[in-house]
Structure 1
Amino acid sequence: MNRRILIGALTVALLSACSKPQPVAEGPRPVMVQKLALSSVQAGALYSGEVRARYESDLAFRITGKIIERKVDVGAVVKPGQLLARLDPSDAGLNAEAARAQLAAAQNELAYAKAEVERYRDLVAKNFVSRSVLDAKETTFKSALARVEQARAQATVAGNQAGYTSLVADQAGVITAITAEVGQVVKDSAPVMKLARDGEREVLIAVPESRIAALRKAGSIEVRLLAAPDAVFAGRVREVAPAADAATRTYAVRVTIVNATPEVQLGMTANVILPDAAAAGGGLLVPATALFEHDGGSAVWVLQPEGELVKAVLRKVQVRQFREDGVLLAGGVQPGETIAAAGVHKIVAGQLMQPRVASRPAAATVGAGG
C-alpha cells in the first residue's frame, strides 16, 4: 500500500515539473520621447570645414644633409628668425674652408702678377724689354684679377651654404606639420615642416556643384565654431576652386573669417552657414534617429497620451533638408507634439508604451536668426 502511495506521489511530482509555467504578462515597453519645442536656430545650408591659415608655407633646407637637431614640435608658436632644425655642418664647413683657401691662393697670384706688371713697366720705360712682353704680363695680371673675383664669389656661396645648415622661421606663425626627424637625410628643397602664418583665418569647406551658384550670390555668411557654438563670426567667400574634386565631385571653397578672435584656433571644426530664404520660412528640426522610411517616404512616430502611457501613431513627414544637427522638416508635425526619439524601427502602430523623457529637446522651429 505504501509503495503505491509513493509511486503516485512521484508521478504527480514529475507531471508538475513537466507542465509549462504560466506566461507572465509583460508591461508596456519604455520609449524615449522628446517634445517638439520652439526655439530659434540658424536656417540655411550648412557646411562643416576646418579652420586654416590663409598662408601656409612648406619649410625646407636649401642643401642636402643629415638632420642632427629639431627644436620645435607640432603646434609650436614660432617667431621670425627662430631656429627650427639643424643639419650636420661638417661638409658645409669644409667646403667653406676650401673656398677660402682658393681665394687666398688667387689673391697671392694676383699680388705676384701685379708686381710683375709694375716691374716690366719700368723695364719697358728704360727700353730693356719689348712692349709685347709687357702686354703678356698685363694679360696675366688681368687673368689673376678675374680668378680672385671668381674665388671670392665661390667663397661667398660656400659660406652661405654653411649657413643653410640651420632652418629658421621667416614668418611668425604655428608649426602645423613635421615630415622629417633627427637622423634622417633630406634632400635640398624637400619639405621638412609646414608653417601656418599669423594673420587671416579661413574655413576650408567642400560644396556640391548644385550649390556653387547660391554660394556666389550669398550676401551674408555666418561661421560658427563647434568649440564655441554661441560665438558668431562673419564670413566672406575668398576663393572657389576652378575644378571639382574627381572623387567627391565637390568644389573646395575657402571662406575668410572677417572678425576672427584669438579663440579661433587652427584645426578647429567650424560650420559655414549660408542663408536660405526657403528654409527661413519655417520648419521643424528633429533628430535623425526619430526618422524612418515608410512606403517610399519619411515618417515619424507621434505619441498620443493614453493616461500614463502613450500610443504610437505613424505620421508621414516631408523632409526639407538633412543637416549635421538633425533633419529639417517641411511639414507633417506641429510644435508641441511628442515624438519617439529612438528605437523607431521596433515600434508598431497603436502600441502602448511607457514614456521616458530625453535629456535634451528633440527639435526646434527654424527661423532666419542665429
Structure 2
Amino acid sequence: MHFPAFVLRPSGAAAQPRNRARSGVFLWPRAAAGLAVALALAGCSRQEAAPEPVRAVKLVTVGAHAAPAPREYAGEVRARVESRLSFRVAGKIVQRPVEAGQHVRAGQLLAELDARDYELAAQAARAQVAAASTQRDLAAAEFERFSRLHAQNFISGAELDRRQAALKSAQAQLAQAQAQLAAQGNQAGYTRLLADAPGVVTGVDAEVGQVVAAGTPVVRIARDGERDAVFAVPEDRVAGLRVGQPVQVAPWAGGPPLAGKVREVAASADPVTRTFAVKVALQGAEPPPLGATVQVRLADQAAPAAAAPLRVPAAAVWQDAGRSAVWVFDPASSTVRAQPVQLARLEGDEVLLAGGLADGAQVVAAGVHVLAPGQKVTVYQPKTPQALTNKGPAAMNPEAPTPAPGAAR
C-alpha cells in the first residue's frame, strides 16, 4: 500500500504568491491617483511668457533733409512772339514756297491763293470808277455852264441849285467807286501771304491745292529776337512764383547756364494737365535754339535750414489716443518711445511738422504699428550681395548642413 508523498512547505512560502498579487492590485490605483494629482498641479501652474522679439526697424534722421532742394523743371525754349499766319480771304492755295525750319525775311512770300476771281472783281471796280468819273465830269461841265447863264440872268437860282446838287451827287458816286476799287484791290492783294517780320518757320498747317477759309492758320512763324523758357508747375507750387523772380536755366545738351526772370505766370490751369504755364525771359547773347530742352531752377526757393520746417516720412506718423505721434529711437538703450508731434501739412510722401521734434532726432520710418513703448529694437541693416558672398554657401542656402569642427572641406 502506497501513500502519496507529501512535501511540507513553510506556511509563509505558500502564501507569498497570493500576497504579491494582492499587493499589485491595491498599488496601481494609488499610483494612478498620484499621477493625476501631479498632472492637475502641473496644469494649474502658470507658464512663463515668451520673451518679446527684438524687432529690426528702419530709422530716419529728422532735419537731415529739412531744407527743400531747389526745384527743377523741364522746359522748352520758345520765341517771345510766335504767330500763326493766315489768309484774310478764302481761296485755293496754288503755291507755298517755304518749309518748316526755313528762315524767312520780312515781306517774303509764304503762300499764295488763286486770285482770278479777286482780279475780276477789281476790274469791275475800276470800270465803275471810270463811269462815275465820267458822270462827275458831265455834272461839273453843266454846273459851270449854268453858272454863266445865271450870271447873265437867263436862268433862275433854283435851276442853278439843282445843277450844283447833281454835281455833288456825281462826286459822291465817284468817291464810292474809288473806295470799292481800293477794297477789291486789297482783296486781290490778300491772296499773297507775306511774312510781316523776320523769323523761322516752325510749322506748316496747309498744303498746295487745299481750299482754306479766311483766318485758317497756314504757316507758323517764330520771330527773331528775345527767347523764353516755358515750363509747367503744379498748382501747389504756383503760389511760390512771382513775376521778376530770378531763375537759372541750364541747357540739357550742355553749355553754360543762363540767367533769366519770370516774365509771366498763367492765371488759370491747363484743363487737361491741371498745371500752370510759366514763361521765363532768357538773358544772354546766344540763347539755346528754338525747341531746345532746358532745366529751369528757381534760384531763390531754397530757404535756410533753420527756417525750413522739419520733415518726416508719412509712414512714420501714427495715432496715439487721437494725437499724432512718432517713435523716437534712443541709441543708448536701443529702445523706442512715443513722441507726440504737431503736423503742418502733407507734401508728397512727407509730412511737414509744426513742432514736437528736435533737429537731429532719429525716428522709426517703417513698422510703427507693431512697436510698444520701451521696446528694444535693432537698426535694420540691408543685406548686400557682397555680404552674402563673404558668408559662403551656407548663407545662400540656410538648409545646408553645417560642417563639424575639424572636418575636411
Q: How many residues align?
A: 254
Q: Which residue of 2 aligns with 1:253?
A: 278
Alpha-carbon distance in 2 for matches of 1:220, 1:169:
34
Shift of 1:130: 3.0
The TM-score normalised by the length of structure 1 is: 0.62
Amino acid at match of 1:59: L
Over residues 317-349 of structure 1, what are the superposed CA-to-partner deviations in whole Å (9 max), with x where a residue is unaligned?
xxx999xxxxxxxxx9xxxxxxxxxxxxxx989
In the alignment, which residue of structure 1 is the partner of 2:173?
147
How far the C-alpha of 1:271 sits from its partner, in A, is: 0.9
Q: Which amino acid aligns with 1:141?
A: L
Q: What TM-score, normalized by structure 2, do the two folds share?
A: 0.56
Name whichever structure is richer in strand by fraction. Answer: 1
Tell me the CA shift for residue 220 of structure 1: 3.6
Change (3 A) 1:128 1:162: same
Q: Identity, % of aligned pairs?
A: 48
Larger Rg: 2
1-structure distance, mates of 2:123, 2:75: 52
The equivalent residue for 2:293 is 269
Structure 1 residue 217: Cα displacement? 9.0
Shift of 1:240: 0.6
CA contact (8 A) 1:218 1:274 kept: no
Computed over aligned residues only, the root mean square deviation of the Cα atoms, in angstroms, reads 3.2
Contact residue 44 and residue 280 of structure 1 kept, 8 A: no
CA distance in 2, matches of 1:162, 1:219: 49
Letter in 2 for 1:249: R
Kindly report which structure 2 residues correspond to 1:282-301, keeping only aligned pairs within 5 A, or say none: none
Does residue 237 of the first structure (1) align with residue 262 of the second (2)?
A: yes
Matching residue within 64, 77, 82 for 1:51: 77
Q: CA deviation at 1:218?
A: 8.8
Paired letter, 2:81: Y
Q: Hey, what does 2:188 align to over in structure 1?
A: 162
The structure 2 residue matched to 1:174, chosen from 200, 205, 226, is 200
The CA deviation string for residues 228-255 of structure 1, in whole angstroms up to 9 with x for no partner, is: 2x32111211111112223332211011
Q: Is the contact between residue 243 and residue 262 of structure 2 (CA under 8 Å) also seen in structure 1?
A: no
AA matched with 2:283: V
Q: Does 1:78 align with 2:115?
A: no
**Misfit runs of 4+, over 6 Å:** 278-281
The alpha-carbon distance between structure 1 residues 131 and 213, as it changes in their structure 2 partners (threshold 3 A), is closer
Q: Which amino acid aligns with 1:211?
A: R
Q: 1:149 to 1:164 in 2, by over 3 A?
A: same
State how 1:1-370 maps to structure 2 within 5 Å. 44-216=70-242, 220-228=246-254, 230-261=255-286, 264-275=288-299, 277=302, 351-352=388-389
Give yes or no for contact 2:243–2:264 (8 Å, CA) kept in 1.
Answer: no
Contact 1:57/1:195, CA 8 A, preserved across alignment? yes
